Amino acid sequence: MTISRELLDILVCPQCKGAIYLNKTQDALVCDSCRLEFEIRDDIPVMLVEEARRLED
């Protein structure tokens, strides 16, 4: 995983502008508030709400 700490510190959820974090496998970013997971493709986070995966409760 090559996403820098600096980038992770400034990224926010595009829907609610809340905090996001790396999932356990470090292949996606998660927003707990919106229950969305944003995939990381080729070391680039895809921060599009339309392409995010909805997390189950």
pTM beyond cutoff 0.85: yes
Q: What is the pLDDT of residues 15-26, one digit of tens each?
A: 999 999 999 999
Would you say residue 2 has pLDDT above 80? no
Q: What is the pLDDT of residues 29-56, one digit of tens each?
A: 999 999 999 999 998 999 999 999 999 9
CATH architecture, domain 5-54: Single Sheet (2.20)
Could you write out the DSSP letters of every residue in 1-57?
Answer: ----HHHHHH---TTT----EE-TTSSEEEETTTTEEEEEETTEE---GGGPEEPP-
